[in-house]
């Protein structure tokens, strides 16, 4: 089975759904009558993306809001604080039925697709949401104090607060005024009344934490100096024997946490094939469900509340859309479904080792509400000129200066899939498959070599030789 595509060329000067510019968007597109999963994998690794059967690629150096393909590396993924908050909120809702509908923002429309097909795909993107994630300037591996220290700080804060309240209460009572009104008296209190000036003033919790941290650094420095001596005289534990204190939870620990038997709600998942140009494939060494496009249905107490559309490809799970019941937007279903799909990718990797990435569509740095995708880390952005993956941390400084950037720092690097022999491109013409050089001889009317060359440059040498370009 070969992919059959009909290239429709570039389209410029129409409204952008990200910045609102009436004539700023530019992209090339083609209609996929059918497509193999390997061809689509290779295409998205060159910046293409599908919307139904329409496959499109932004003209990166011309469009008003350049859209960079982004992928997450699930095998090294650790949920951020905001991700954990969403997962804990879902678990609390399922186990106890508790939730808060306040301060929940509606997920914005994914306007990445070509306007010509927008009316047919009025869908919510599972990832395009307003988010409370950290600013992009912060690194993924933020400095997080361990749980023991957090508990100590909370206790210290509580004690400090109680002590300050105690002093304030004494001042209230000593002044003879009601507790609802407090005056600040400049003169020293009479003996037996007010704060005891013979004792040091109360310290702020912030100052206490700083002092504790300084003491820990001093202690660590002293320990490091003695480390060599200790290694010589103390037996070392094997890696498997080392105690796992304050070990960070991974995403499965949150998502697959066991609900109590009397849980208030039950959330279930089912998976079905869905209509797509991708041809279903089920090789012996592939995933249990095979490769192709799937609906992941989210059932709450027997009622369907969301449907995620994903493409399972040879090297990745690609997120497409999420439909959801707006009555359940308080559960942050966009973020929750993305985290579940990351966990799903990790599960698929256990059987199919080459499947190890999660593609999130496009990252648009020029659109602030779209930057949150960069918080699913570690992640990479695709260089729009050489089509190599670059860690997002290395890309952000350049994107702060310019909307369009080449991420590959090697000035001599080129697109390895650039067209070398156009004549080897395959064409489907009058129900006959032929190489382009044969098609040219049979072609009637004006030459279409310029548009065919453009198509070949965009899809690359390998795909041009494997896919069939339909010509009428």
Tens of pLDDT along 8-24? 999 999 899 999 999 99
Does the structure show a pLDDT above 80 at 163? no
Q: Do 268 and 344 share a domain, yes or no?
A: yes
What average pLDDT does the chain have? 80
| Residue that terminates a domain, selected from 345, 372, 401 | 401
Q: Is residue 240 part of a domain?
A: no
Q: Do 115 and 261 share a domain, yes or no?
A: yes
Q: What is the pLDDT of residues 305-334, one digit of tens each?
A: 999 999 999 999 999 999 999 999 999 999
Dihedral pair phi/psi, residue 12, rounded to 5°: -130, 165
CA distance 331 to 335: 9
Does the structure show a pLDDT above 70 at 387? yes
Q: What is the pLDDT of residues 86-131, one digit of tens each?
A: 999 999 999 999 876 554 544 433 433 434 334 333 333 444 433 3
Q: Which pLDDT band holds residue 221 (cuts at 50, 70, 90)? A: low
Q: Does residue 462 or residue 189 have the better pLDDT?
A: 462
- Evaluate whether 324 touches 106 at the Cβ level (below 8 Å): no
- Evaluate whether 70 touches 392 at the Cβ level (below 8 Å): yes
- Evaluate whether 325 touches 343 at the Cβ level (below 8 Å): no
Q: Output the DSSP codes for 257-312.
A: PPPPTT-S--EEEEEEE---SBPPB--TTS-TT-BEEEEEEEEETTEEEEEEEEEE
Q: Hey, is 85 helix, strand or coil? A: helix
- Predicted pLDDT of residue 272: 75
- Predicted pLDDT of residue 101: 59
Please, which residues have CB within 8 angstroms of residue 202's CB and are 6 or more apart in sequence? 160, 163, 164, 167
Q: Is residue 443 part of a domain?
A: yes
Q: Do 258 and 385 share a domain, yes or no?
A: yes
Q: Is residue 285 part of a domain?
A: yes
Q: What is the pLDDT of residues 26-51, one digit of tens each?
A: 999 999 999 999 999 999 999 999 99
Q: Do 341 and 461 share a domain, yes or no?
A: no
- Evaluate whether 344 touches 317 at the Cβ level (below 8 Å): yes
Q: Which pLDDT band holds residue 349 (cuts at 50, 70, 90)? A: very high
Q: Is residue 361 part of a domain?
A: yes
- Predicted pLDDT of residue 154: 54
Q: Output the DSSP codes for 16-81.
A: -TTT--TT-EEEEEEEEEEB-HHHHHHHHTTT-EEETTEEEEE-TTTSSS--EEEEE-GGG----H
Q: Is residue 410 part of a domain?
A: no
Q: Do 325 and 451 share a domain, yes or no?
A: no
Q: Which residue range is the domain that position 127 belongs to?
A: 75-136+251-401
Helix then strand count (H, E) for the chain reads 10, 15
Percent of the chain with pLDDT over 70: 70
CA distance 468 to 447: 18
- Buried b / exposed e along 356-373 (16+ C-beta atoms within 10 A): bbbbbbbbbbbbeebbbb
CA distance 269 to 58: 34
Percent of the chain with pLDDT over 90: 63
| Residue that terminates a domain, selected from 341, 370, 401 | 401
Q: Find residue 168's DSSP bridge partners.
A: none
- Evaluate whether 334 touches 107 at the Cβ level (below 8 Å): yes
Q: What is the DSSP letter of 333?
A: H
Q: What is the DSSP letter of 431?
A: T
Mean pLDDT of 260-286: 90
Q: Is residue 357 part of a domain?
A: yes
* Residue of 373, 375, 355 whose CA lies nearest to 364: 373
Q: Which pLDDT band holds residue 210 (cuts at 50, 70, 90)? A: confident
Q: Do 438 and 456 share a domain, yes or no?
A: yes
- Evaluate whether 454 touches 426 at the Cβ level (below 8 Å): no
Q: Do 91 and 127 share a domain, yes or no?
A: yes
Q: Do 360 and 429 share a domain, yes or no?
A: no
Q: Do 262 and 373 share a domain, yes or no?
A: yes
Q: Do 21 and 116 share a domain, yes or no?
A: no
Q: Which pLDDT band holds residue 185 (cuts at 50, 70, 90)? A: very low
Find the range with the poorest average confidence among 210-219, 234-243, 432-441.
234-243
Does the structure show a pLDDT above 50 at 206? yes
Q: Does residue 202 or residue 271 have the better pLDDT?
A: 271
What's the total number of domains in the chain? 2
Q: Is residue 413 part of a domain?
A: no
- Predicted pLDDT of residue 417: 97
Tell whether pTM > 0.85: no
Does the structure show a pLDDT above 50 at 205? yes
Q: Do 270 and 368 share a domain, yes or no?
A: yes
| Residue that terminates a domain, selected from 346, 367, 401 | 401
- Predicted pLDDT of residue 194: 52
Q: For 129-183, where are the alpha helices, taking DSSP H only?
A: 147-175
Q: Is residue 241 part of a domain?
A: no
- Predicted pLDDT of residue 202: 65
Q: What is the pLDDT of residues 2-12, one digit of tens each?
A: 999 999 999 99
Q: Hey, is 340 helix, strand or coil? A: helix
Mean pLDDT of 429-442: 96
Mean pLDDT of 365-389: 96
Q: Do 316 and 459 share a domain, yes or no?
A: no
- Evaluate whether 316 touches 344 at the Cβ level (below 8 Å): no
Mean pLDDT of 221-230: 47
């Amino acid at each position: 089975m070969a992919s059959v595509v009909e290239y429709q060329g570039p389209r410029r000067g129409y409204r952008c759904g990200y910045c609102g510019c009436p004539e700023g968007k530019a992209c090339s597109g083609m209609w996929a009558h059918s497509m193999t999963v390997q061809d689509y994998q290779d295409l998205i690794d060159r910046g293409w993306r599908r919307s139904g059967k329409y496959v499109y690629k932004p003209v990166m150096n011309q469009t008003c809001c350049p859209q960079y393909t982004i992928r997450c590396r699930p095998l090294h993924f650790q949920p951020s604080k905001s991700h954990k908050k969403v997962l804990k909120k879902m678990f609390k809702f399922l186990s106890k039925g508790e939730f808060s509908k306040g301060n929940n923002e509606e997920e914005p429309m994914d306007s990445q697709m070509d306007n010509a097909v927008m009316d047919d795909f009025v869908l919510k993107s599972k990832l395009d949401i307003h988010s409370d994630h950290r600013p992009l300037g912060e690194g993924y591996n933020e400095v997080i104090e361990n749980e023991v220290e957090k508990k100590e700080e909370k206790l210290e804060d509580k004690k400090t607060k109680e002590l300050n309240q105690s002093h304030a209460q004494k001042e209230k009572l000593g002044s003879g005024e009601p507790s609802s009104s407090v005056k600040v008296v400049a003169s020293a209190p009479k003996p037996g009344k007010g704060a005891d000036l013979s004792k040091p003033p109360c310290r702020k919790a912030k100052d206490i934490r700083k002092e504790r941290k300084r003491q820990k650094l001093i202690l660590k420095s002293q320990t490091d100096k003695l480390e060599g001596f200790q290694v010589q005289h103390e037996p070392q534990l094997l890696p498997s024997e080392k105690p796992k204190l304050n070990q960070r939870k991974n995403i499965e620990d949150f998502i697959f946490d066991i609900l109590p038997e009397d849980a208030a709600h039950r959330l279930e998942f089912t998976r079905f094939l869905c209509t797509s140009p991708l041809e279903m494939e089920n090789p012996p060494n592939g995933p249990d469900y095979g490769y192709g496009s799937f609906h992941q249905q989210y059932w709450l107490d027997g009622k369907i509340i969301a449907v995620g559309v994903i493409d399972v490809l040879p090297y990745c799970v690609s997120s497409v859309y999420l439909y959801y019941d707006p009555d359940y937007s308080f559960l942050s279903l966009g973020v929750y479904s993305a985290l579940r799909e990351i966990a799903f990718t990790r599960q698929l990797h256990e059987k199919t080792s080459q499947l190890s990435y999660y593609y999130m569509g496009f990252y648009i740095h020029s659109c602030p509400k779209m930057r949150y995708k960069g918080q699913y880390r570690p992640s990479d952005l695709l260089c729009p000129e050489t089509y190599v993956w670059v860690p997002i941390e290395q890309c952000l400084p350049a994107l702060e200066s310019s909307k369009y950037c080449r991420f590959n720092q090697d000035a001599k690097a080129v697109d390895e899939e650039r067209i070398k022999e156009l004549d080897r491109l395959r064409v489907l013409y009058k129900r006959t498959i032929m190489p382009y050089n044969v098609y040219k001889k049979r072609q009637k009317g004006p030459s279409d070599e310029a548009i065919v060359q453009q198509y070949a440059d965009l899809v690359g040498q390998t795909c041009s030789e494997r896919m069939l370009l339909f010509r009428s």
